[in-house]
């Protein structure tokens, strides 16, 4: 019998890929994270400098650990051993990396990337600067439109990421964004990339599994 969930994920995923390509993004769909991981490892050239956005998805598929093992130069401000000053330096280096790796909070069926950031280094690097940007998303991040994408961020991504970093924000108690005044607020900058900017190279890899926040 056909796996109905896999069929549905693939059907939605292919719709998103078509829309992304129409908006001038490169785009690939894979049924599993293993297939996507194999593709990424074969796509990323040796000896390039890699910027790493604050993505749980990249860690969930095992990409970051493998890149470290292979000896790549990683600009990763999420490294717990870094000082606060070093974390800032890593964020600046991400802007001029050869390849910037990240995820997106949401991807619409119209092929738009919807994101909200606390500091802005991720959305800045996604938009302009690195030689190439690769965005990896699970099928759970596909939404109908921009408004649904923003709702998804407020209800899921923001509180989950606040809890992941143990940020003292109201959303870790309520489970949803409160439009707070917290100094640790992670919802300060909203970015919507409608089409791939002409001076940027952005590839979106969609995986037919639920990944990340």
Smallest CA-to-CA distance from 185 within 119, 91, 102 is with: 119
Q: At which residue do the structure tokens 């952005």 appear? A: 202
Does pLDDT of 2 surpass 80?
no
Question: Mean pLDDT, to the nearest integer, of 31-50?
Answer: 97
Q: Which of 201, 58, 75 is nearest to 127 (CA)?
A: 201
Q: Rounded distance, CA 31 to CA 170, Å?
A: 36
DSSP state of 6: H
What is the average pLDDT across 5-9?
95
Per-residue pLDDT reduced to its tens digit, 66-121: 999 999 999 999 998 999 999 999 999 999 999 999 999 999 999 999 999 999 99
What b/e string do you get for 109-146 counting C-beta neighbours within 10 Å, with b at 16 or more? ebbbbbbbbbeebbbbbbbebbebbbbbbbbbbbbeeb
Mean pLDDT of 120-141: 97
- Distance CA(213)–CA(206), nearest Å, equals 14
- pLDDT of 1 over the 70 cut: no
Determine the 3-state secondary structure of 206 from DSSP: strand
What percent of the chain stands above pLDDT 90?
Answer: 84
pLDDT at 184 over 90: no
Q: How far is 13 from 7, CA to CA, in rounded Å?
A: 10
Q: CA angle 83-84-90, nearest 5°?
A: 85
Average pLDDT for residues 158-169, to the nearest whole number? 85
- Average pLDDT of the chain, as a whole number: 95
The secondary structure of residue 153, as a DSSP letter, is: I
- Domains along the chain with CATH numbers: 4-141+187-207 (3.40.50.10420)
**Per-residue pLDDT, 54:** 87
Predicted pLDDT at 173: 85
């Amino acid at each position: 019998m056909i796996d109905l969930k896999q069929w549905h994920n693939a059907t939605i995923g292919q719709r998103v890929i078509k829309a992304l390509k129409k908006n001038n993004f490169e785009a690939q769909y894979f049924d599993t994270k293993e297939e996507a991981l194999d593709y990424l490892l074969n796509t990323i050239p040796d000896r390039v400098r890699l910027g790493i956005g604050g993505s749980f998805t990249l860690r969930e598929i095992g990409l970051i650990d493998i890149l470290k093992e292979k000896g790549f130069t990683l600009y990763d401000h999420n490294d717990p051993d870094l000082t606060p000053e070093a974390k800032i330096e890593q964020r600046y280096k991400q802007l001029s990396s050869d390849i910037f790796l990240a995820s997106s909070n949401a991807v619409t069926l119209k092929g738009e990337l919807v994101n909200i950031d606390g500091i802005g280094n991720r959305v800045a690097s996604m938009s302009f600067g690195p030689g190439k940007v690769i965005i990896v998303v699970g099928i759970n991040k596909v939404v109908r439109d921009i408004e649904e994408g923003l709702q998804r961020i407020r209800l899921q991504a923001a509180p989950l990421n606040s809890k992941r970093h143990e940020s003292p924000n109201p959303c870790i108690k309520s489970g949803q964004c409160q439009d707070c005044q917290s100094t640790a607020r992670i919802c300060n900058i909203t970015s919507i990339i409608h089409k791939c900017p002409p001076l940027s190279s952005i590839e979106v890899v969609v995986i037919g599994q639920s990944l990340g926040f």
